[in-house]
A and B are shown apart, each in its own frame.
Chain A
Amino acid sequence: DAKTTQPPSMDCAEGRAANLPCNHSTISGNEYVYWYRQIHSQGPQYIIHGLKNNETNEMASLIITEDRKSSTLILPHATLRDTAVYYCIVKLGSRLTFGEGTQLTVNP
């Protein structure tokens, strides 16, 4: 699986958009980009995934660059409950390999 690079931590003000970057420069053509988050002492929660096109669901938006070497997860209106570790994962098949993730802290 391709390696991903994320900033270790980010802060965001409540109500503002949170933009979490991820680099995956070695991604191959058939690998998907997945995002999960983990709130302290809970199992990871699926957020969104994509291959080439931008994706949006009720939780977030995923913007993938044209060369697919990086992506950004956007939480449009962050709330305190969005404070968590966010993992960007490049996935082929069913295997998930977690990196260190980004600790997002949403401040009041």
Chain B
Amino acid sequence: GAVVSQHPSRVICKSGTSVKIECRSLDFQATTMFWYRQFPKQSLMLMATSNEGSKATYEQGVEKDKFLINHASLTLSTLTVTSAHPEDSSFYICRGQGAMNTEAFFGQGTRLTVV
């Protein structure tokens, strides 16, 4: 099946710094990338949806200037957490979907810890 490679798997950063998370679709073209966040013992919450070459659409309550999403190519999407704070510590997961896919292919997730 299709694979979405997410990197890094774990990252620790200092408060006030920025962190970039990458998701690459390895054997299909991800026309749409979804970004989720998951706090401990909670379910996945959709943060934003991006289509290749377009600006991302953010869910209510998600700050677009804080969570910068780039989807400039069909195989790469990035999420940058800017000016990170401890409350941004979470598990971030991407999901790539191609034009013809009915399944959804998730990345492995990134555990972000802000200290």
Contacts and interface: CB of A to CB of B under 8 A. Distances in A.
Interface of A: 36, 38, 41-46, 49, 87, 94-101
Interface of B: 1, 4, 6, 32, 34, 36, 43-46, 49, 91, 93, 95, 97, 102-109, 111
A42 B93 CA distance: 9
Contacts of B107: 43
Given A94-B32, A94-B97, A44 B44 contact: yes
A11 B47 CA distance: 32
Q: Interface on chain A toward B: helix, strand, loop, or mixed SS?
A: loop
A92 B91 CA distance: 25
14 contacts: A36-B104, A38-B44, A41-B91, A43-B6, A46-B1, A49-B102, A49-B103, A87-B43, A94-B32, A94-B97, A95-B46, A95-B49, A98-B43, A98-B44
Q: Interface on chain B toward A: helix, strand, loop, or mixed SS?
A: strand
A100 B43 contact: yes
Contact of A96 (B1, B6, B91, B95): B95
A46 B34 CA distance: 15
Contacts of A44: 44, 93, 106
A87 B106 CA distance: 14
Contacts of A45: 106
7 closest Cβ contacts across the A-B interface? A43-B106, A98-B44, A98-B43, A43-B109, A44-B106, A43-B108, A46-B103
A22 to B, nearest CB: 14
A43 B36 CA distance: 10
Given A94-B34, A95-B46, 8 more contacts: A36-B104, A41-B111, A43-B107, A43-B108, A49-B103, A94-B32, A95-B34, A97-B46
